[in-house]
Amino acid sequence: MALMGAMFASSSALNIFGQSMGVIGNNLANTNTVGFKASRAAFQDVLAQSVGYTEAEGTNQVGNGVNVGAISPILEQGTFEQTSMPTDLGIDGQGYFVVMD
């Protein structure tokens, strides 16, 4: 069963790497899109089982691959650009501009 666990852990890593490359690709494809906010993939361990307990180390846990914990937007302040349109606006600081309630 150890070989199957190793194969599953490595295949899950390749799958999650592909998903993170999709997030990066989306960020690159929308680089020049006005108002686009990039995203970041966060990874987490998938624990399969606990094996043994010692006073010094606590519980030893065996991993079973990785998973995407969250894909969260990066909400940092962007740059402002001067336009010739009197209806264009930009928001300084944190928050969103509510268009419709």
Phi, psi angles (nearest 5°) of residue 75: -100, 65
Per the document, the length of the chain is: 101
**Distance between CA atoms of residues 35 and 81, nearest Å:** 12
Two structure tokens written together for 69: 């914990």
Do residues 94 and 74 touch, judged by C-beta distance below 8 A?
A: no
pLDDT tens by residue, 16-31: 889 999 999 999 999 8
**What is the pTM (predicted TM-score) of this model?**
0.61
pLDDT tens by residue, 64-73: 778 888 899 8
